[in-house]
Structure 1
């Protein structure tokens, strides 16, 4: 299944919605959950059917005030929740990233199959655009790709690459398929965990794994090592699938424990050495999601840093 495959009627309704939003110049950048809560708390409903209120800030809206094209599309797609007394709420949001519109889950993203898109997505896209070779023409896999940001950014940067996106979440695959169709991009989609079942010989692997600890939500929880375990596992899997000279572009978070120790950085360095790979590891934001430090899982953590790792497989 790829981004140009035939879409069913609910998918076509959402593709049409993205097209109409594009024509109207819709624009929204989703902030962190903490910022979203603060801004949304200033008012509890959308104002006059404003599209950014409805599809960005995820506010309830009045059926009488909302544009007809919007309610028609959301109803046809089966993603409209009716709250009673003429009020309703969209179960999807729309963001613009690098000029493209992306469907993702409404706020708050509390469901197990939520598809998240936020500030990390923008930094991940910038990382890919900066590091991916524009002349690359081999097979590239975006692991756990969610809404398709990594894969579609890669296609924008290296048009000749053959892109596949994997995810274990069927909702993510559906939204990525619609987002790809709206972008006019050919994107192969595969439901699998990590790189399971993917043939070796890859030119590049893109990865933006979950990196929070004890979140109990698949799209956020990175496992042990204060959320860093999944990043190490995906890096190890990528090294096993990369062709000689192939590169892993890993964007993730690292919990810096008491004393300033970076356990993730140490683990990736050991992994690279064991596999004869070159590692370029950088801290690009020293402090994100500071509110998490109030939870028991981060009792011994000083800060959560955003890091990037470029691992190049030996020739």
Structure 2
């Protein structure tokens, strides 16, 4: 693809890009754990000079103004991401390393438009890489519900000549994905929409890591709808397989609520595959994720939530 256009960047956008550049030059790296681990470790202490960058930009610990060097503090303030809290200053964003690239995403929050990145993101990237192999020859690819952009950027890195479309209903997600794309030097075609974008041509690959928790939170990155969180994923698959080119693949990473040993997601995907003449491969990537969710009333019959990966290949 052509070089990424930087038209329309705001002062805040440019400050965030400069911040990413500064962190990369400083050798910054951070792996984002589960929210429970993040909360436990984050409460152990305040930010310290010994590990200031990871404390502030990774662990979201409170910090004092003089902890960061003046230039970096100025960039954070220009970007509008500094928040005042009783215990000190905090940032509204985090920066995490995925697939060797830095990604902006939301700090821990309950905001409806939070931009998620966490352990599912790492499993999703690994799943895409394993499903597609080393250097797939793609012309067009789509990542639905792009979030912070980890899937779309992986597709772009695997097939640099492909047109990779990244869609999301969340404007904040598209903004951060654009900045992550610019920083990584991997062009993306960003589309604001719910579900699949309207495009006349099909896609060689469609990838999706949809929300899969059935809950009351109304957070777009978590709420997977009915069927114990599976409804959104299945809707995307039903629509998406009709948009594949011959031999194209739909890569689905999601969660399946297992009830009495029964995997309803796998069975529903097999029905979709049989009806459309597609080939389905399916695996459990992690047998037990989001265990705390089982305390919710909606999950009273669920014995575990499995992270699963499915590939549906068009004839």
Q: If the length of structure 1 is used for normalisation, what is the TM-score?
A: 0.95
| Match among 18, 21, 24 for residue 23 of structure 2 | 21
Partner residue, 1:129: 129
Q: Distance in 2 between matches of 1:135 and 1:301?
A: 38
Partner secondary structure for residue 228 of structure 2: helix
Q: Distance in 1 between matches of 2:25 and 2:137?
A: 32
Partner residue, 1:34: 36
* 1:272-310 deviations in Å (ceiling 9; x for gaps): 111111100111111111111111111010000000000
Partner residue, 1:110: 110
Structure 1 stretches of 5 or more lacking a match? Answer: none
CA contact (8 A) 2:138 2:205 kept: no
Of 45-54 and 147-156, deviating more is: 45-54
Q: Distance in 2 between matches of 1:127 and 1:199?
A: 28
Of 126-135 and 305-314, deviating more is: 126-135
Partner residue, 2:218: 216
CA contact (8 A) 2:283 2:310 kept: yes
1:80 aligns with 2:92: no
Of 122-131 and 203-212, deviating more is: 122-131
Q: CA deviation at 1:163?
A: 0.4
* 1:30-57 deviations in Å (ceiling 9; x for gaps): 10011111111212x2123711111111
Partner residue, 1:312: 313
Structure 2 stretches of 5 or more lacking a match? Answer: none
Q: Distance in 1 between matches of 2:25 and 2:232?
A: 40
The alignment's C-alpha RMSD in Å is 1.5
CA contact (8 A) 2:288 2:306 kept: yes
Q: Distance in 2 between matches of 1:127 and 1:4?
A: 29
* 1:203-228 deviations in Å (ceiling 9; x for gaps): 11010000111142111010111101
CA contact (8 A) 1:203 1:242 kept: yes
Q: Distance in 1 between matches of 2:256 and 2:4?
A: 33
CA contact (8 A) 1:13 1:74 kept: yes
